[in-house]
């Protein structure tokens, strides 16, 4: 996969997304098999991009999910731009600084490996909130569906969902696959933001093109380094600080018997 956006995202088949008009990357993060042979349930853990452009029709699709909790990983500024996916009483704002798409102090990011290093930094600087996001999911997913989202639904959301997948035993290739499914939606979001910008949007044109992709290599490098550091994928979440109780809750609620 190339880092430049030379291909037309409108000509690329979509992954299995929910038809949420105004959003580009809302989908079920479940359905994966684990190394033990158990299956991750669908309809409980959703991942997505921000709802700033959501239409009335799109909101009706979200409302039908009957979300019990929404974990919003966006910065304070983007969090305050508009309404969220759910009532404020069910929304948990857990900001994780998005070093990947920030353009105020641009840095050279030309490859999937550069993005993986940025993910390493993001976790290093925001470890407490990354852990907190995982634990909020664990605390509420037993009540019903939970949605985790950021701006594009691939970087901060990708990290949190990867940790949840790792905690319940989803193997590396599936974690990578789930992350890479954000590639086409992210390219389409970039195209929309360039064509129909809204006040407060990040400076898409100034950001390195690779940032608006979701290459499998990025997650493979990022997760492989975590395995090298902590010894295994399943040890990764607890190694960062996710409690054993939260891991047990995730396994109890997200896995089939």
- Structure tokens of 143? 């009540």
SS3 call for 46: strand
Q: Which residue has the tokens 């634990």?
A: 135
Give the pLDDT confidence of 49-74 residue by residue, as tens digits: 999 999 999 999 999 999 999 999 99
Longest dimension (CA), the chain: 48
Distance from C-alpha of 112 to C-alpha of 173, rounded to nearest angstrom:
16
Query: In this predicted structure, what is the pLDDT of residue 105?
Result: 59
Using CA atoms, how far apart are residues 194 and 201, in angstroms rounded to an integer? 10
| Parallel, antiparallel or unpaired: strands 45-48 and 27-28 | antiparallel
- Express the helix, strand and coil content of the chain in percent, nearest 5 each: 45, 10, 45
**pLDDT tens, residue by residue, 175-222:** 999 999 999 999 999 999 999 999 889 889 888 889 999 999 999 999
Length of the chain: 257
Q: What is the CATH number of domain 9-254?
A: 3.90.190.10
Residues 189 and 157: beta-carbon distance below 8 Å: no
Mean of all residue pLDDT scores within the chain = 91
Tens digits of residue pLDDT in 134-150: 999 999 999 999 999 99
Which pTM does this prediction carry?
A: 0.92
pLDDT tens column, 87-98: 999 999 999 986
Going from N- to C-terminal start, the domains of the chain cover 9-254
The predicted structure's pLDDT at residue 47: 98
């Amino acid at each position: 996969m190339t880092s430049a956006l030379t291909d037309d995202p409108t000509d690329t088949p979509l992954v299995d997304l929910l038809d949420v008009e105004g959003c580009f990357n809302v989908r079920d993060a479940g359905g994966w098999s684990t190394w033990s042979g158990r299956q991750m349930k669908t309809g409980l853990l959703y991942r997505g991009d921000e709802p700033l452009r959501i239409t009335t029709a799109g909101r009706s699709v979200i409302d039908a999910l009957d979300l019990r909790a929404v974990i919003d990983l966006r910065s304070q500024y983007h969090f305050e731009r508009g309404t969220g996916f759910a009532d404020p009483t069910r929304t948990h704002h857990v900001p994780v600084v998005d070093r990947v798409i920030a353009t105020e102090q641009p840095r050279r990011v030309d490859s999937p490996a550069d993005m993986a290093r940025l993910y390493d930094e993001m976790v290093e600087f925001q470890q407490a909130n990354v852990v907190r996001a995982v634990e909020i999911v664990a605390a509420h997913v037993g009540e019903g569906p939970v949605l985790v989202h950021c701006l594009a639904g691939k970087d901060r959301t990708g990290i949190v969902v990867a940790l949840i997948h790792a905690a319940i035993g989803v193997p590396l290739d599936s974690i990578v696959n789930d992350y890479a499914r954000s590639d086409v939606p992210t390219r389409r979001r970039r195209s929309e933001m360039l064509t129909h910008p809204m006040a407060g949007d990040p400076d898409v044109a100034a950001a390195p093109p690779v940032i608006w992709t979701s290459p499998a290599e990025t997650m493979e490098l990022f997760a492989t380094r975590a395995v090298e550091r902590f010894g295994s994928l399943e040890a990764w979440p607890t190694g960062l600080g996710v409690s054993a109780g939260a891991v047990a809750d995730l396994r109890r609620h997200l896995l089939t018997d």
